Amino acid sequence: MQELTHRSRKLNEFLRARISPEHFVGLQLTAGLIALGVALVLFSVIAVSVATGNDLTQLDTRINVWLHVHSTKQFTHLFRLTSKLHSNLVVAAVTLAISAYFWFKHLRYWFMMFTAAVFGGMLLNVVLKNLFVRPRPHFDDSIRVLTTFSFPSGHTMLASVFYGALCAFAVSRLRGWMLRAASILLAIFMVALVGFGRMYLGVHYLSDVLGAMAEGLAWLSVCFLTVGLIREQQKHR
């Protein structure tokens, strides 16, 4: 009985330590691992659907056809602009500017996290596109025609890691749950806007966008956990 009580106390201490917000190996590490696990499961499910051509890919086609039929000039211009603002070149330039700010403000771990998330995410997406080699949607009167592969969406992936990293930085600096919640909602909105825009322009399927979001969350979690553990080790030295 005494041994059982001792083990129960040890388990309670371990669980409390895992949800403690005071240290990285507490709540931050736990949240990062949960986010990584969920993202990997979601990406795997979507990737299998794309590879096997199940019901999700049929839904892809129906959504794309509906959006193409109901497209308007105003929304087409809006989402063309949105896509241009989230191209590799523009996001890379903005990332370099923000990274320079982190460096000169001596926020070296945020510099590492932000640059690894964005530029590493770009490379990861290229690898996955060439792994799945999924053709893009095609219409006789397409709004835009691209010859690169479709899955996962590069624009959505970039938006996910870019706004996700900025959101993490904002949440770490802001005080008050309302401001933090607003930052999270704004990041989610921007990622969704970019993803929907790519579908609206007929250059990506829904599964491309959802897969890119899961990919982005997984890669962001990896960067967050890696840099966090490095920082924790530096503290103990």
Q: Which long-range contacts (CB under 8 A, 24 or more apart) does 26-33 make?
A: 28/224, 28/228, 29/225, 29/228, 32/221, 32/224, 32/225, 32/228, 33/221, 33/225
Q: What's the rounded Cα separation, in Å, for the pair 50 and 52?
A: 6
Name the residue with higher pLDDT: 1 or 142.
142
Q: What is the pLDDT of residue 213?
A: 95
Q: What mean pLDDT value characterizes the chain? A: 84
Name the residue with higher pLDDT: 97 or 53.
97
Average pLDDT over residues 198-211: 92
Name the residue with higher pLDDT: 8 or 66.
66
Give me the CATH topology for the region 2-236: Vanadium-containing Chloroperoxidase; domain 1 (1.20.144)
Q: How confident is the model at residue 70 (pLDDT cuts 50, 70, 90)?
A: confident
Average pLDDT over residues 85-97: 94
